[in-house]
Structure 1
Amino acid sequence: MRKIIASLFISLDGVVEAPDQWHFPYFNDEMGAAVDATLGRTDTLLLGRKTYDGFAGAWPEREAAGGEDAGFAKKLGDARKVVVSGQDLSFTWRNSERLEGGLVDGVAALKREPGGDIAMSGSVSVVRELLAHGLLDELHLMVHPIALCKGMRLFEEGEATMPLRLLSSTTFRTGVLHLVYALAESAGDATYDDAKVHLPQDEA
């Protein structure tokens, strides 16, 4: 079965809103390679409508302009782009289509299709829904060493607890942490009495 891998730029205090306004000072060759390893090497992108609109409004023009990012823009253009939306959509960017069958059933069906992994970028509301329904296989967080103190956060207050398991971690020269998580079973119940046995013990 195909995996769904979501990548998000996130601040130290959990903000994921408008990364184009704060994350570029931290973008270096290490981050570029990490982005290309997911978005640039997939045959399918799963995107929320707002994220799709932003991509479709920028990347085709960048591909046509033939600049330094034209190669990456072509990769995105060549990929199949499946858009999550409750409305009928008209597309101008090639290889774009609307997800059929509703979010949960549609994504489950998409995962069963033949092909490589499915990549996501942004699309925070879709990421939340997929996590809640156990459909997201990997969550790649690029944690930037900045506290924004305002803006939409990845996890909202009032949502159910969501245990995660760390699969890998990489530190970029800029101080950005590239953390890869998967959903995990509950850590179980414990109290301070359970934890204190792990504190350093003074020798008698």
Structure 2
Amino acid sequence: PTGWSTSLLSFLKLTSNENFFAMKACFIIASLLAIASTNLAWARTLAETDSAEVALDGRIVGGYTVDITAHPHQVSMRLKDVLTPEESYSHNCGGSIYSTYLVVTAAHCVMGNVASEYQIVAGANEKRSVNGVVVPVKEFIIHEQYNPNIYNNDIALVVLGAPLPINNVTIKAIPLADKPSANGAISVITGWGSLIEGGTSPDLLQEVKVPIVSNE
């Protein structure tokens, strides 16, 4: 994809057994809505003027509960709680498994944060569950052209400190798009975002279908 550095492409070749360039068209709105967001489901409010900032809203309004086997690529990114016991973590954002050592998420989720304070939980329906597979985070690689004001290129790679045990049932790499999706096409988003405006986020994994909307 345009904008990724040569060093990043080289890194991906070394850390994944899959062909990274098969992802050439996956970083489109359809895939990003499914894999990279606050609680894995964010709503973008785009203003009419070029100077206006984009507001993020971690919601998955109209969603319904699904089992992790319906979306085994889904992971919970959990951040260490500084005001609680040392080993206490809470859900911070969602992400999707790309390979055994790589997860894809939104850049705004990890920008300015310390990778070692995160852990990834895979194979779990509940955002507070400790029954899934827990792996440490080694590094964040943020898109070099990420714009935090308008959220262009809002994507990042999460490099894991241990491999995910892919079983293709509850833990599986996401099948990515191989061509651009049309504006207005229906996509599926999943995560633990709040179901109503101002509401609390659910404990169980949610799914909702939404149309793709261009930010241009």
Higher helix proportion, which one?
A: 1
Greater Cα radius of gyration, structure 1 or 2: 1
Relative contact order higher in (CA < 8 Å, ≥ 6 apart): 1
Higher strand proportion, which one?
A: 2
